Each structure stands twice: as structure tokens, then as C-alpha cells.
Structure 1
Amino acid sequence: MKRWRFFLILILCTSLAGCQMAKETHTTSDSKGVMTRKQVVTLATSQPLTTLDTDKLTQFGRLNNTIEGLYSTTGEGQSELALAKKVKVTNNKKTYTFTLWRDSHWSNGDLITAHDFVYSWQRALSPTTKAPNADLFVGMQNARQILDGKLPASKLGVSAPSRFKLVVHLDHPMAELPQRLTFPLFGPQNERIALKYGKKYATKPLYQVYAGPFMVASKGNTAKHWHMIPNPHYWDREHVYLQRINVDVYHSNAKMWTDYRKGTLDEVRLLGKANIKSFEKQAAYTARPYSKMVLLNYRQAGPKSTVNQLLRQRIARLAISHAIDRQKLGTASYGSTSLPAQGIVPAGLSRGQRGTSDFAAAQPQQQTLKLNLPLAKRLWQTAKKRAGVKHITLTLSYLDATYSYKIAHTLQHQLTTALPGLTIRLVPREWSVDELPKPTSSDLTLTTQHAQYADPLSMLALFTSTSMANTGKWSNTTYDQLIAQASTAPAFNSTRWKTLLKADGVLMKSQGVTPLFQPASTYLVNPKLNGVQYNTVGTQSNFKGAYFVK
């Protein structure tokens, strides 16, 4: 029986080591009678399409609708099997054997096989590829040695013993593996197509094929526009209703608003608290919380020794943290829908075993993030005295974009007002969608980190000594050991949970990085657009089941 005749729902329970099968259920009516004849959605972006190579992207944006892997993400941020029919896990939790569906096809009609995953993952770890998110493979057998240049990518612990059988070997148990595998980087790639086009591969829609519900159209794409159409060979194509997804590049908010009001754009992002307040009672208004955190990073090994002596002091970083009014900072930029940080892990990302406790609310050392101006001033004066300075100028880097600009200017005002003798010079930086993380080039750096899978480890692991995302190069041996323990835990249990909380406490007590707030983006969306799955983790929106009603 072909899979598009029924829905497949399976969530991997990590406590079960045996074989898990997808369950068949009868599909309910699609209610096509209420759908409009024209099923075309037009969306906005600020960046042109630069590459279709999943290994080159740091953020996938709309392109996640062209990708599907072993697992996909549910609306609750959990994992369910997708291209995999079933999975068997050994008792020691170190070997996963996936059985793939035999009727999954690439957009060109080629069968999707286990070898496509082997090729994709080895390619991502290859030194010639330099995938920005390659750290996500760490934990799979030999991945760490491959990234360190000690082994070739061919030694990664993944194999295809048969056409539809994929075996994944781990260095140690990874309780969060199913959640991690939902990230688009772990999708398959078609080696035949990659070899056919060589250096041209994935540089244009003509030189790429797709496993997801949509494919990028090979014609009509420019620096200002690109669009997706349904994948004619997608296994569940009968439940893909949109005829086309237009993605238009905008450099002007005014133009975006004009097109939304004309009805030629189906979604517009609200910028500024005045706009949010004006529209928040309209049916078109929506606020989307997402598992990301705006952070302040510290450079402790810069070119100026006095700055280094200051920022290497824990009390100096604590002073900065206590001088920040996080509620006002978030409201001034993203609006009242943003949440002040309770720690490094955003709210709603992960809950306890019984689903009753949010990790974010349970984070220790939350007092280090509280506004306390008298304490901030005392700590700052002591830190300056130890560094031998009375006045100091720090550079603060921020992305040259609307939200980051507002955050940087508000933060500059708060810190220079609260901390005597401090001057902050703002330094804008350009944003790129497909570059590796770089060491920070300023004393303070504003960044936004996204949780790539639904587990606290997805945020906490970013600040280990060896993480590429740890651009400030903060280092703590105890922290590294705790993250290693949580990374090798065989299951989601209370011991792992406590270990992650302890690690969070070490990071916050030291203020190795200072969390500011969890932003929630606000939009006006065409009220007739239904069925879009907005995720809180991983990739943000899934248009597979989207449709317009009359």
C-alpha cells in the first residue's frame, strides 16, 4: 500500500530499545470544498537565495519545506518518523538501525535510499565542505576525530548494508538523537546528482533535487524573487495543497506593508511596539514564540590587555548582567511578547519526564540575571579597580538589522547609565546565511542562538570549550565535564535532567555568556491561510499541509 493513503504517526520513546513501528490510521476528509481554487502563498524574506546546498546553510528559512529526513518535527517540537519506516535500537543504546520506506522518491523520480544518507552525512563532515552546523554530528562514531582532522569523513559510524537499511553507530548513548535528527542537515543528498553537476551542484535550482514536499522551481528565480512548487514525486503529495510558494526579497519595510495591504503579500512582520499594540486585537495578528535567545558574548582575549583584565573577571560580567533591564530591552525591540531570560535555555523548549516542569523555569542561578543597579555598580567599581582602570571604552557588535540595532542602542544606554566610567562604541556587522561562526572581533557581541532540537543540550552544548558557536571562547572544565555526562546519558531521566541543570548553573554563575531575552516574532497573516505548522524549535514553518479557505 502506498503511504500517501494514510497518515503515519510515530514518536520515538527513548526508553524503549526494541523495534518501533508506525501506526496506520484512516485519513479524514481534506475538506477540499472549502478551499479556494488558487492556492498560492506569497512570503517575504530579507535575503536572496544564495545556495541550495543544505551543508552550506546556517539557517534554512523557507528551504526547510524542500527537505525531509529520517524524522520530522511535530508542532509540539517533538520527533516523528518520516522517511524511516521503523527504527531498532540496541540494548546499549549505541546502535540505531533504520528501515526506510521503499516508495520515497527524489523530485527527479530517483528512489531515496540509505546510501543517500551515508553520502550526505559524510559530505557534511568533509573538510572540503565545512558545514557550519557540523558539530551536531558529534556523538556519532568518529565524528569528533573527523572534525579534528584525525580521520577521514568515510570513517563516520554510518553505513548502508542494504538499499533501505541505514545503520548508525554512536560513540556513546545519545538520548536526544531522534530530536537532533529532525534538523535539516541530517536529510539525504543524491550523490548521483552531486557528482553529475560537480561544482555547480546546488548553486542553482537546476542543479539540485529535493526529498521534501516542495521543490525550488528551476525557472523564474532572480535576486529579488524565488519560488517553490510541489514535488511531483513526494510520497505524501496528495496532502500537499499549495500550488506555489512565492518568496520575495524585501529591503524596505514600507514596501512590504504596501504589498500586504494590497493583498499581494500574505504575511508581514510587525516591527516596533507601536505597531504591535495597534494590531494585536486583529484576527490577522499572531505572535510566534520560538526557542531562541538573544545573548551578550564577551571577548576575553582581545588586543587590549586592560579590556581583557576587566572582562576576564566574573564580577565584571555579573555587573553587566545586573545592570540590564531585560523586560525593557525586549519590549523596546521585539515588543511585550518577548520573555526576559531565566537562563540560557529558552522557555518551552523541554519539559521533565512527566511533562509538568519546564526546564527554563527550573534553571538555577536566576538571580544572576536580575536587575540590581546598586549591586551592579559595586561589582563594577571593584572590577575596574582590579583591572587598574577608571574609565574604559568597550566595543559592542550587532547585526546591521532593525531588531539588533534597537537592542544595541537600548543596551548601550542601560549599561553606560548604570556603570560609572563606561563608554560603549557600537559596531554594526553584516549578516550572512551561509558562513561559519567566527571568533568575535569586538569586546561585546550581540548574537541570537536558536535551539536546533528539542532538548536543553541543544543550547548548553554551544558553550563548551570546543564548540564553534562559543565565539567568546569562555572555558570551564567543570562545565565541559557536565555537558559530556549529559551527552552520554542513555535516556531522559532525572539524573540527566539534574546534570543539565547543574551545567546551566555553572554557566550562569560565571556569566560566561549573558542571556538577555527570548524574542517572540509578531506577524499579520492572511486569515484565510490555514494548516501552516509553526514550530517552536528547529525550522520555523512547515507549509506541507497549508491551504487557503474561501
Structure 2
Amino acid sequence: MMVASLTLLVGCGNNNAKKEKSDDKQEAKTEKQVLTVVESSELPTMDISKATDVVSFSAISNVMEGLYEFADDSTSQPALAKEVVEPTDDGKKYTIALKEDGKWSNGDPVTAKDFVYSWQRSADPKTASEYSHLFEGFKNYEDIKTGKKPATELGVKALDDYTIEIELDHPIPYLNSLLAKPTFYPQHQKTVEEKGDKYATNSDNLVYNGAFKLANWDGTNISWKYEKNENYRDAKNVKLDEVNVEVVKENGTSLNMFQADEVDVIQVKGEFAQQQAGNEDLVVREYPSSYYMQYNFDNKLAANKSFRQAVTYTVDSEQIVTNILGDGSKEIHGFVPTGIVNPKTGGDFAKDSGNLKETSSEKAKAAWETAKKELGNEKLEFTLLASDTDSAKKLAEYIQGTLEEGLPGLKVNVSTVPFANRLDKMSKGDFDIVLAGWAATFADPYDFLQLAKTGTVQNYGKWEDAEFTKLLDDSSTTYVNDVDKRWETLIAAHKRMMEELPYTPVYQSSESFLVKPHVKGLVYRSLGSPYYKNVSIEK
């Protein structure tokens, strides 16, 4: 890997210590602003309609721009929209005016039609977007999903070049938060159609409307760049000329690079995070995020409820966050993490739900004995799928040892694969049990609970439960205008989910980063990815 060369700040002039002060000033003015960051995994896709993971969303958030973006406090603020609007028609219509200075990197204007096209493409079943369910509640989406109507009938239209109208079947309380998410960014129709199957598979097969342009990405490599986009509408306020991204999966390696001043930002986990506890460069990001084990109900062992109970009673969340992670992550007491609050009362959803996860060796053994009788086999086995990052490997190995020790006769195999491969295997249902995570994409419990809903693409394990599905449907239709009743219904769904255990919650994620003091303006919010357009280097 060409690591050191990526970190250089390129200047003009010579390095003679005797040069005049005026030359120093001139060099400072012309020196490039370069930020170097480490990612733990490869970049799976740049297709807005198909992205589902944090690495892809981070890249898209920096080279594209939507109607809204997340403010530092994670509320929505205007980006390409002139303002954050309130709905009319009893919460079922939004009319959003666009700024008229948005441009694509090829010089074309960014118009309302680019948003309409993007959303129709994502909602179209032919695109096979795993996030198409985010359009639930948009007028005609249900008929589009089932093929009864074409995607062009989705409840969004361009009233003119710079005005978008959204029509809903029912109010969506969190729509303004959704509209800040990359899934709702625009796409340049001509580029999508001209590139065909090659669209968004590398940095050359895209156009960009954000602060940066992606460069040096061939679709599989472990380094890429964000280069300043001179056509960006607010380019004059973007300080960085370049962001270099290097994938490093071993935490010890990235820490050595940080200490050698080869990189500016890294994430630290486990013992490496613990060692940095007193470091002034340490930044801890707390946000609503769950890490969990997802069961595949096509697997006989995973489909057995007694087995899932035995696993859940055995996996000790407190032990994991204390002894394995050490990065600020927290013990979890249900599938929905803390940090999502009732808009009316301010109550935290996870706390309002109560303690829904218990660790008990006694109950684990009892459930395990029941599972063995039900399955008719004293020796049972499964493969735990995980990503091949340092932290994921260590967690998988810890769970392997804990389960084999606590549930006699159980054999756990561990399979670690690159992040993109893990996502692919999950989407194909090619796993027994998988270690995965979900970070809040909008500030509502529904964001987490819908992962287990029948028909949702992210329900990779194919769990089906009519009671749970009805509760979720009621929360988004029948009780959508009744905050108290909707909250109660979502809590009931949460409890039902934790009774049946299609997932075993493992911990609530936090992230620890080391950030060089000369990096200014880098904000880790509870929602969304950092925006490098707000960052500068001040040495």
C-alpha cells in the first residue's frame, strides 16, 4: 500500500530554511489542503438506489447532495432545498423549492426532475433496491411494489425545474429526516441510462453534485480519493482540496500509521481504544446503533426458538462492551438502542420498552436442553458469518467460545469474509447466523423494527410473524397521527420481537476515533456520516 505518499501536503516553492517570510506566506496560501482518513472496509457501491451500508453512505454523502442534510445536532437543515418545509393537506403534501445554483460535475443544472427520476428508480421493483421500503407511505408506492402501477406513478413530481411536490397516502412523521438520507439524493438520468450496467461501478461512471468528486476507485480497490468539485454550488467555502481514503482492517496497523503522522483520522476499537482513553485526540461518537446476530429461518437450528433463547441468554452484552470492545459501546437491553426519543414526552424508546434482554446461564442451559429435545440431536452445529475486520473477528471468536462453553454439544464455526462479501451473502440468504449492525437512518423506532417486518428486504432471515407485522402497520397508518398510541404500538412490536427473537441483540455501538489536532470542523453526529466539506487543515 502506498500509504505515506497519500498523506503529503503538497506545497510550492523550496524548503530552504533561509527563504524570506514573504515566501513562507506565499507557500501557505498555495499549499494543498489534504485530509487522510482510514476506513475499515471496502466501498461496496456508489449507486444511490442500491447502497445500504455505512461505507457507501459515507462516500455518497461527500460527493452528492440532497434536499436536506443533517445539522450538527442531527436535525434536518437545507442543502439544495431553500428551506425545510412543513407539510400541508393534513400532513400528506410537501412542496419544496430548490436553490437554482446546483450543478452536476459535468456542468448540467441540478433540477427537480433529477430527484423525481432518482426516487422513481429506487422505488421501481426492477431496480431491486433494498431501501425501496423507505418510500412506504408515498402515494401509489404499494401498487408500484406489487407491479400494479409503474414507478412513474410514485407520489413525487416536478412542478417546474426547481419545485418538487411530494404526495403521501398517510403522514410520515419522520419524512424530513428521511430526506436528508443519501437514498433520497438526486441522480443524473442521462448518465444512468448511458452507462447502463456500468453505472456507479467505478469513479468514472458517475457525475457528482456534491462538494467533492470520487476518484481512483475501480469498484474493488482499497483506496480512493475525494477531489474538490469546482462545479459545486458552494465550492468557495470548501477548504479541502482532497480527501485520501485508505482501507486498513487491522486496528494495530492503523494506529501505527496515526502515530507516525501518516494519517489524520482513524477508528480505534478493543484494547487499542482502551489504551487511548486519556488521549486528547480521542473522539467518541455515541449514536443509536445496534449490533446483533441475525438468524436464517431456512436453517433448522436457527429457526428453533428454544435455541435462539439459549443463545440470547448466553451472550453477555456487558462482558462484550467491557472486555472485547472498549470503544464506548454500551450494554443493550432490547433490539432498539437508546437515543430515540418520543417527540411529545421526550421519553427514550429503549427505556420505555424496559429490559427485554437477560443474561442467565441457568435459563440458557434450560432452553438449550429443550432445543436439543425438539431437534432430536445431542450435537448441533452452525456457522457464524462475520466481516473480516479485526473487531468483527474478535467478537465472532468470543461468541464462538462463549456459546461452545455455555451450551455443551454445540459446535460453532466462524467464517469471516470482506465486508462487501458479507453484505452479498446476507442479501442472498447464504448464512446460518450472521453478525451485523444497523445505525439509525432516521430518528424513529420504526427504523430498527422494520428490519424484522415481513417483506422488508433487510429481513434477510425471512422471519414471519403476523402479530408483529400488524403492530408495525398500525403504527404507520392507523395511529400515525396519535403520538401516544403510536408509541405504545411500537413498544408492543418491540416486545413481540424480543419474545420471538429473530435477532439476538449483542451491544449498542459507539465509535472511537483518533483525530489529529490540525483537523478542524470534523463533526460526528448521531445521524449520518461526517461531511468533509466543513473540514479544514490548520497546522
- The TM-score, its normalising length taken from structure 2, stands at 0.86
Corresponding residue of 2:315: 324
1:439, CA displacement in angstroms?
Answer: 4.8
Q: Check if 1:546 corresponds to 2:538.
A: no
Equivalent residues in 2 for 1:22-37, closer than 5 Å: none
Alignment match of 2:370 (pick from 366, 378, 382) = 382
Distance 1:372 1:35 in 2: 63
Q: Kindly indicate whether the alpha-carbon contact (under 8 Å) linking 2:344 and 2:483 is maintained by their aligned counterparts in 1.
A: no
Corresponding residue of 2:484: 494
Q: Which runs of 5+ in 2 are unaligned?
A: 1-27
Q: Kindly indicate whether the alpha-carbon contact (under 8 Å) linking 2:314 and 2:364 is maintained by their aligned counterparts in 1.
A: yes
Corresponding residue of 1:57: 51
Corresponding residue of 2:474: 485
In structure 1, give the amino acid aligned to 2:129. A
Q: Kindly indicate whether the alpha-carbon contact (under 8 Å) linking 1:179 and 1:455 is maintained by their aligned counterparts in 2.
A: no
Distance 2:518 2:224 in 1: 23
In structure 2, give the amino acid aligned to 1:69. G
Corresponding residue of 2:33: 39
Distance 1:40 1:524 in 2: 17
Q: Kindly indicate whether the alpha-carbon contact (under 8 Å) linking 2:80 and 2:102 is maintained by their aligned counterparts in 1.
A: yes
Q: Which moved more, 1:175-184 or 1:336-345?
A: 336-345
1:151, CA displacement in angstroms?
Answer: 2.9
Equivalent residues in 2 for 1:143-542, closer than 5 Å: 143-217=141-215, 223-250=221-248, 253=251, 255-273=253-271, 275-302=272-299, 304=300, 307=301, 311-313=303-305, 315-335=306-326, 337-348=328-339, 350-353=340-343, 356-364=346-354, 366=355, 368-432=356-420, 435=424, 437-488=426-477, 489-491=479-481, 493-537=483-527, 539-542=528-531
Distance 2:118 2:104 in 1: 14
Corresponding residue of 1:131: 129
Corresponding residue of 1:66: 63
Residues 431/347 of structure 1: CA separation in 2 closer, same or farther (3 Å cut): same
Q: Check if 1:122 corresponds to 2:148.
A: no
1:287, CA displacement in angstroms?
Answer: 2.0
1:327, CA displacement in angstroms?
Answer: 1.3
Residues 161/403 of structure 1: CA separation in 2 closer, same or farther (3 Å cut): same
Q: Which moved more, 1:293-302 or 1:431-440?
A: 431-440
Q: Which moved more, 1:252-261 or 1:523-532?
A: 252-261
Residues 195/436 of structure 1: CA separation in 2 closer, same or farther (3 Å cut): farther
1:129, CA displacement in angstroms?
Answer: 2.7
Q: Kindly indicate whether the alpha-carbon contact (under 8 Å) linking 2:251 and 2:268 is maintained by their aligned counterparts in 1.
A: no
Corresponding residue of 2:76: 79
Distance 2:252 2:304 in 1: 44
1:251, CA displacement in angstroms?
Answer: 5.3
Q: Kindly indicate whether the alpha-carbon contact (under 8 Å) linking 1:437 and 1:468 is maintained by their aligned counterparts in 2.
A: no
Q: Percent identity?
A: 31
1:460, CA displacement in angstroms?
Answer: 0.7
Q: Which runs of 5+ in 1 are unaligned?
A: 1-33
In structure 1, give the amino acid aligned to 2:139. Q
1:88, CA displacement in angstroms?
Answer: 5.2
Distance 1:57 1:540 in 2: 14
Q: Kindly indicate whether the alpha-carbon contact (under 8 Å) linking 1:330 and 1:407 is maintained by their aligned counterparts in 2.
A: no
Residues 125/356 of structure 1: CA separation in 2 closer, same or farther (3 Å cut): closer
Distance 1:35 1:418 in 2: 63
Q: Please report the RMSD computed on the Cα atoms of aligned residues, expressed in angstroms.
A: 2.7
Count the aligned residue pairs: 506
Q: Kindly indicate whether the alpha-carbon contact (under 8 Å) linking 1:532 and 1:544 is maintained by their aligned counterparts in 2.
A: no
Secondary structure, aligned partner of 1:375: helix
Residues 440/35 of structure 1: CA separation in 2 closer, same or farther (3 Å cut): farther
Residues 319/437 of structure 1: CA separation in 2 closer, same or farther (3 Å cut): closer
Q: Kindly indicate whether the alpha-carbon contact (under 8 Å) linking 1:57 and 1:435 is maintained by their aligned counterparts in 2.
A: no
